[in-house]
């Protein structure tokens, strides 16, 4: 498939995700209006939809029926959005801009933002539980992985580490652990979800997890580079990591770019071990290359 056809197909898939997210959320105007409005505002703001796209494309790479992974994919996007809402709060990063618009707590107040994040986390589990296209065994496995990626070894732990790092010096290994828990876990889980839905197991499932782990480390370095030298067109507050230990502060911009490329190379090697198609790789690598997937 040539690049034009591939990228057109990506946009069509992203459109399916957008429409399904609307269907899975409570309707606009439903009470309580502040809570529902905040949840819809946060989820439906323009975004890359990296996590759901990864789940769908991995499922496709492993031969799943088209559409079989879309609800699970949307569940991971709800979790990602909840994490962004919480990350932006005054007690966390105190951000004012996300995805090109005011952060949820600025637009709807802090209480509604917190409640919307909790509601989205819960809704994600419900979406998987209600998916009639999945077997009970797959539902249980996906919910277990969803729980793991949120909890004490996942996003929550990563956020706690992020708050604790301020004013401290961390080793590169400690920075990698923080980056994995803040970012990587929510790439590993949807990637492996897509593979599980397609029937992958054993070494191929482990390989796709390693692909996503390495990709997550590269993606966080990319985010740190953008934080250091990006522009307002990125759609979020910049300079939030100034003075905090990242691979950019540890290695410098050139060293961080080299580390990012190393993780991308390792991700590609892991994907080769998974013995599947290359849709996920073509999509993910476009986020780092000269042709960026639309934000």
Per-residue buried b or exposed e for 224-255, using 16+ beta carbons within 10 Å of the residue's own CB: bbebbeeeeeebbbbeebeebbbbbbebeeee
Distance (Å, whole) CA 73 – CA 128: 9
The CA angle 266-78-60, to the nearest 5 degrees, is: 50
Dihedral (CA of 55, 273, 259, 183) sign: positive
What span, in angstroms and rounded, lies between the C-alpha atoms of 151 and 264?
26
Cβ atoms of 187 and 213 closer than 8 Å = yes
Please state, in angstroms and rounded to a whole number, the distance separating the CA atoms of residues 47 and 50: 8
pLDDT confidence of residue 230: 62
Residue 102 in 3-state DSSP?
strand
Give start and end residues of each alpha helix (H) in 131-245: 136-150, 155-164, 172-179, 185-197, 202-229
**What is the model's pLDDT at position 112?**
98
- Per DSSP, the three-state class of 238 is coil
pLDDT at 237: 57
pLDDT at 73: 98
Please identify every stretch of the chain with a pLDDT value under 50, giving residue numbers as ranges: 233, 291-295
Taken in order of first residue, the domains within the chain and their CATH numbers are 3-286 (1.10.600.10)
- CB of 31 closer than 8 Å to CB of 74: no
**What pLDDT is recorded for position 292?**
44
Distance CA 207, CA 269 (A): 9
For residue 165, the SS3 value is: coil
Here the tokens at position 112 are 């509604």
Residue 167 is predicted with a pLDDT of: 77
pLDDT at 239: 55
pLDDT of residue 242: 60
The H-or-E segment that residue 116 falls in is helix 110-129
Residues 6+ apart with CB under 8 A from 69: 55, 56, 58, 59, 193, 194, 197, 198
Backbone angles phi, psi at 97, to 5 degrees: -135, 135
């Amino acid at each position: 498939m040539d690049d034009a056809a591939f990228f057109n197909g990506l946009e069509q898939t992203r459109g399916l995700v957008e429409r399904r997210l609307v269907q899975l959320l409570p309707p606009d105007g439903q009470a309580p209006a502040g809570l529902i409005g905040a949840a819809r505002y946060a989820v439906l703001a323009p975004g890359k939809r990296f996590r759901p796209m990864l789940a769908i494309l991995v499922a496709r790479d492993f031969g799943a029926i088209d559409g079989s992974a879309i609800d699970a994919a949307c569940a991971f996007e709800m979790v990602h959005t909840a994490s962004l809402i919480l990350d932006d709060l005054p007690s966390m990063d105190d951000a004012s801009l996300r995805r090109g618009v005011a952060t949820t707590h600025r637009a709807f107040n802090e209480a509604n933002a917190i409640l919307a994040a909790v509601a989205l986390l819960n809704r994600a589990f419900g979406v998987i539980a209600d998916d009639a296209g999945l077997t009970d065994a797959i539902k249980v496995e996906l919910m277990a992985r969803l729980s793991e990626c949120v909890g004490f070894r996942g996003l929550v732990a990563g956020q706690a580490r992020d708050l604790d790092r301020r004013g401290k010096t961390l080793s590169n290994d400690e920075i990698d652990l923080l980056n994995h828990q803040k970012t990587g876990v929510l790439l590993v889980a949807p990637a492996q979800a897509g593979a599980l839905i397609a029937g992958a197991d054993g070494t191929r499932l482990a390989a796709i997890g390693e692909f996503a782990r390495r990709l997550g480390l590269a993606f966080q370095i990319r985010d740190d580079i953008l934080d250091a030298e990006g522009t307002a067109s990125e759609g979020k507050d910049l300079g939030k990591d100034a003075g905090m230990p990242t691979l950019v502060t540890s290695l410098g911009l050139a060293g961080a770019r080299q580390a990012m490329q190393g993780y991308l190379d390792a991700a590609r090697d892991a994907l080769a071990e998974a013995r599947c198609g290359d849709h996920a790789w073509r999509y993910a690598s476009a986020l780092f290359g000269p042709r960026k997937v639309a934000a």
